Amino acid sequence: MKIAILPGDGIGTEIMAEAVKVLKALNLPLEMETALVGGAAYEAHGHPLPESTLNLAKSADAVLFGAVGDWKYDKLERHLRPEQAILGLRKHMGLFANFRPAICYEQLVGASSLKPELIAGLDILIIRELTGDIYFGTPRGRRTATDGLFPGTEEAFDTMRYSRPEIERIAHVAFQAARKRNKKVTSVDKNNVLETSQLWKDVMVEIGQQYPDVELEHMLVDNAAMQLVKAPKKFDVLVTGNMFGDILSDEASMLTGSIGMLPSASLNSKNQGLYEPSHGSAPDIAGKGIANPLATILSAAMMLRFSLNQEAAAQRIEAAVQTVLQQGLRTADIYSEGTTKVSTSQMGDAVVKALAA
Q: Considering the complex, what minimum distance in angstroms separates the CB of residue 86 from ligand IPM?
A: 5
Tell me how far apart the alpha carbons of residues 25 and 39 are, in angstroms, rounded to a whole number: 29
Residue 73: CB minimum distance to ligand IPM, A: 12
Binning the chain into helix, strand and coil, the percentages to the nearest 5 are 45, 20, 35
How far is residue 159's CA from residue 141's CA, in Å, rounded to a whole number?
6
Nearest to 178 by CA among 198, 133, 219, 208: 208
Q: Given the complex with ligand IPM, which of 217 and 246 has the nearer CB atom?
A: 246
* Total residues binding ligand IPM (CB under 6 A): 5
Rounded Cα distance between 18 and 24, Å, is: 10
* 42 in active site: no
| Least distance from Mg ion to the Cβ atom of residue 126, Å | 11
Reply yes or no on whether 105 is catalytic: no
Task: By CB under 6 A, tell whether 123 contacts ligand IPM.
Answer: no
Report whether 238 contacts 217 (CB < 8 A): no
Restricting to residues 233-252, which ones interact with ligand IPM according to CB under 6 A? 246
DSSP character for 231? -
Footprint (CB under 5 A) of Mg ion, residues 241-270: 246
What is the rounded distance in angstroms from the CA atom of residue 356 to the CA atom of residue 23? 12
Catalytic residue among 135, 162, 211, 275: 135
Contact 187, 239 (CB under 8 A): yes
- Given the residues 250, 335, 341, 353, select the one marked as catalytic: 250
Nearest residue to Mg ion by CB is: 246
123 catalytic, yes or no?
no
Pick 76 or 118: Cβ nearer ligand IPM: 76
Enumerate the β-bridge partners of residue 123: 103
Q: Is residue 335 flagged as an active site residue?
A: no
Q: Which of 355, 305, 330 is nearest to 101 (CA)?
A: 305
**Which does residue 11 bind out of Mg ion, ligand IPM, none, counting CB within 5 to 8 angstroms by kind?**
none
Cβ closer to ligand IPM: 64 or 324? 64
- Give dist(CA 119, CA 149) in Å, integer: 46
Phi, psi of 95 (to 5 degrees): -80, 80
Among 37, 62, 86, 104, binds ligand IPM (CB under 6 A): 86
Count the neighbouring beta carbons within 10 Å of the beta carbon of residue 320.
22
**Residue 175 exposure: Cα atoms within 13 Å on the Cβ side:** 21
- How far, in Å, CA of 153 to CA of 146, rounded? 6
Q: Which stretch binds ligand IPM (CB under 6 A): 22-30, 34-42, 81-89, 290-298?
A: 81-89
Q: Which phi and psi (to 5°) does residue 276 adopt?
A: -150, 155
Nearest approach in angstroms of CB 26 to Mg ion is: 29
**Residue 68 CB, nearest approach to ligand IPM (Å):** 6
List C-alpha distances in Å: 267 to 23, 89, 135, 170, 273: 20, 11, 17, 11, 4
Smallest distance, ligand IPM to C-beta of residue 294, A: 18
Candidate list 61, 83, 123, 251; residue touching ligand IPM; CB under 6 A: 83
- The answer to whether the CB of 285 falls within 8 A of the CB of 320 is no
Residue closer to Mg ion (CB basis): 158 or 246: 246
Active-site pick, 58, 72, 202, 222: 222
Catalytic residue among 190, 275, 333, 349: 190
Catalytic site residue 133?
A: no
Residues 207-246 that bind Mg ion (CB under 5 A): 246
Q: Out of ligand IPM, Mg ion, none, which partner does residue 217 contact, by CB within 5 to 8 A per kind? A: none
User: Where does this chain bind ligand IPM (CB under 6 A)?
Assistant: 69, 83, 86-87, 246
User: Where does this chain bind Mg ion (CB under 5 A)?
Assistant: 246
Active site residues: 135, 190, 222, 246, 250
